[in-house]
Amino acid sequence: MIKHSLKTDGDQCIFCEIAAGKISADLVFWSDDNFMAFLSIDPNTKGFSCVIPKKHYDSDVLKMPDEVLAQFIIATKKAADILENYFDDVGRVGILAEGTGINHAHFKLFPMHGTEYFKRGEWRQTLSDKKFWFDKYEGWISSGSGPMADFSQLKELASNIRKSLNG
């Protein structure tokens, strides 16, 4: 795994420098006045990309102002549509926002190669056969299912979360 430079040699946010055009924009494939999308330098799938706001916001996207987050989601959708239309074998693009690698708000886009059937209007359930899960964050997120949970424990957890909203 590549450890990214969080800052430039001049101690500036690396994504802010990309947005300002101070770092090569050769990997940028879409941009508007407020957001841009570029290919990742360490892709785990062809077309893996990042979408960023040009203005700096901390990496916890769910803490962004609602109106900015709404615009950010729409910009991310535009970039995802570009990727889906570019790749013949991509009918869906996955989206993720961990925010633990670089402290600048960003969505990661993953072209889901081999899902071209979605373009034809076919829906197919696709499940992973991988048998691993996490008790704590390990630097990456898996969308695969874990073991079946105890329903009574889930009900208790949901109840406790609801109670916390009233307290």
* pLDDT of 53 over the 80 cut: yes
Listed range (8-12, 26-30, 84-88, 118-122) with the worst mean pLDDT: 8-12
* pLDDT of 133 over the 90 cut: no
The pTM assigned to this predicted structure is 0.86
pLDDT at res. 139: 73
pLDDT at res. 77: 99
Helix (H, G, I), strand (E, B) or coil at 31: strand
Looking up tokens 């071209």, which residue turns up? 116
pLDDT at res. 1: 44
* Fold entry, domain 1-167: HIT family, subunit A (3.30.428)
| 11-19 mean pLDDT | 88
Torsion of CA 90, 93, 99, 101, to 10 degrees: 0
CA distance 143 to 62: 19
* Sequence-distant contacts of 136-142: CB under 8 A, at least 24 apart: 137/100, 139/1, 139/100, 140/98, 141/96, 141/98
CA distance 81 to 91: 10
Looking up tokens 């979408």, which residue turns up? 51
CA distance 27 to 4: 16
